[in-house]
Amino acid sequence: MVSYKDNQLHMEEVALATIAEAVGTPSYVYSKRYLDEAVTALKAAFAGTPTKIHYSVKANSNLSILRIMATHGCGFDIVSGGELSRVVAAGCDPADVIFSGVGKTTEEIDYAIKLNIHCFNVESEQELSRISERAENLHKIAAVSMRVNPNVDAQTHPYISTGLRENKFGVSVDVARQLYQQASEDPNLNPTGVDCHIGSQISRTEPLLEALTNLLSLVDELDRSGIKLEHIDLGGGMGIRYNDEDPLDIESYGGAVAQLLSGRRQTIFLEPGRSLTANGGVLLTRAEYTKPGASDDIPNFAVVDAAMNDLIRPALYQAWHDVLPVKTQRDAAMTTWQIVGPICESGDFLAKDRQLSIEQGDLLAVISAGAYGMVQASNYNSRGRPCEILVDGDTFSVIRRRETISDQLRLEREQL
């Protein structure tokens, strides 16, 4: 995705320094080639099973990214009405949308029903009742899929674990049985599938296959009672490498799923997000100041122009992102640096204890920033959010301009 050519870090055939000179920093930069190859590889891994990919919009919701996913035949997994609006604005088909999320409002449900989305992933009895009421009011039949919480430990960070009893997501198998029966008897609903998502950054196939096995038992039980499901949604959560983790072996995963699904009529749905985009993007930033420690027991700080409002993952999850110099021709000695931002918080850091040679004005690339970066950016300290850039071969384009203070202020007015 990025590589050095003539001592300069490039994305595809474009020098990142060229992008920084043209658009400034901080900036998110994405590789179209990486996105294309990631989707192609996932399709190949599941070639043995009828499969539909629904890209998880929450990972990176830029309109250009959505259009790229649509060109590969992907549908979309959304968790808000706003994300549905983005899918529509990108020119994509709402009929390829799965609506997940625990707190769908009446307005969001109405919007989705009117657009004839493919299916709601239902997460509670009250939600199912609300969807039924709104479908009846709109003279529609809403397709639903119950999100089953299989109580499987994904063995990941607690903030991104979603398949245990103590998590807020989904319903138990016992409750799901009741909801399927309720939906099958409701003229406003069409139970079409079953859904499960046990967490993110999963590196082993075992918990994913355990969850699928649990789903298949429920599918067979429902089939015997006359409820014939059309799809089995396995969610996403396929782990990638940020530092030294073992990424999920998608070929092994796809092969194991094909064996478990052999002879079945259901289509497999996947909801990947991070695994398709994270390692296809970087956050480009510049060192504003360096603050060497006065003694060996005092840290060296490199204060960059990106901050926790631009990339919150390190502060929120203690997440690791590699940091690379954009130019490497300097022969200066390596020093241990704390890469921090200008936000007025001690927790404002992008990387800790990194061996780098940094001087004031140097450009740095924060790696693996293509997912849960820009989508979680905020205006804390009244900072404008970065621009977004898409690299395609030897060209690049601005796919979201840099946010200005005028953009922030236009939503406010002075109290009279």
Ranges assigned E (strand) in 17-95: 27-31, 51-56, 75-78
Q: Cα separation of 95 and 76, whole Å? A: 9
In the chain, the largest separation of any two C-alpha atoms, in whole Å, equals 74
First-to-last C-alpha distance (Å) of the chain: 53
**Residues facing 10 on adjacent strands:** 3, 15
In whole angstroms, what separates CA 388 from the centre of its chain?
16
Q: Are strands 2-5 and 8-11 parallel, antiparallel or unpaired?
A: antiparallel
Phi, psi of 316 (to 5 degrees): -80, -45
Strands 281-291 and 27-31: antiparallel
Between CA 160 and CA 60 the distance in angstroms is 17
**Cβ atoms 343, 380 nearer than 8 A:** yes
Query: Closest Cα partner for 84 from 60, 117, 51, 62?
Result: 117
- Neighbouring residues of 112: CB distance < 8 A, sequence distance ≥ 6: 81, 84, 94, 97, 99, 120
Contacts of 361 (CB under 8 A, 6+ apart): 286, 287
Catalytic residue among 92, 119, 344, 387: 344
Q: Residue 378: what are its φ and ψ, rounded to 5°?
A: -135, 180
Structure tokens at 143: 């397709």
Question: Degrees (nearest 5) of the Cα angle 398, 399, 402?
Answer: 70
CA dist., res. 413 & res. 294, Å (int) = 47
Asked if 35 and 277 count as a contact pair (C-beta separation under 8 A), the reply is yes
Is 344 in the active site?
yes
The residues assigned a catalytic role are 344
